[in-house]
Amino acid sequence: MEHEEDDELLYGGADEEKESDEEKEEVSEESEKEEDVADDNSSVSGVTDIDDDDEEELIEEEDMPIPRVGIKNQLKKEIIYIDPENRKTRNILSSYELTEIISIRATQIEEHGRAFVPYADLTDAILIARRELQEGKCPLILRRCVGRETTPAGTIREFIELWDVNKMVFTF
C-alpha cells in the first residue's frame, strides 16, 4: 500500500485531481470576471474583441470613403495651350529632351514592336528610335511648360507649348 500511495503522490493521485478540478473552477471564474472587466475597459481604450459578425461589419466600414472634414479641397488646374505663332521657346531640342524622347520611343518599340522606319539592319530599339527621329517619322509630341500662375480663387494656370519633335533641330 505504501508503494501505491507513493505512486499517487508522484503521478497525481485521486485527491490531487479533486483539488485541481476545484482550482480550475476558481481560475475559470476569475478569468470570466477579468473578461467582464476587459469588456468594460475595451470601450474606454478603443480596443474591442472581434467576433465573426464584427469582421463582416469591419470590412464594410473599411470600404466606405473617409470623410474629409477640415481639409482643403484640391486646387483646380487649368491648362492653357499657347498658339504656335506665339511660342516663347526656341525649336531646339535640349540634350535632356532628346534623351527623353529617344528613351520613351525605344520603350514603345520594345513593348509593341511597331516602328515607322525600316529596321532590318538594326536590332537595338534605341537605334531604331534614333533613326525615326532622324528621318522625321517619330510619333511623339513634346510638351514644354513655360509658366504657371495662381489666381486669387486658387486655380493654377499652366502654360504649355506643344512641339512636333520631327520639326525641331537637334544634334547627336
Ranges of residues in the chain with a pLDDT under 70 are: 1-75
Domain ranges of the chain: 1-45, 77-167
Backbone angles phi, psi at 135, to 5 degrees: -85, 0
Amino acid 22: pLDDT: 53
pLDDT at 113: 86
Per-residue model confidence (pLDDT) at position 71: 46
CATH architecture of 77-167: Alpha-Beta Complex (3.90)
Q: Give the start-end residues of each E strand in 23-171.
A: 77-81, 141-150, 156-164
Residue pLDDT, tens place only, 93-119: 999 999 999 999 999 999 998 999 998
pTM to 2 decimals? 0.55
pLDDT at 76: 87
Residue with cell 490531487: 16
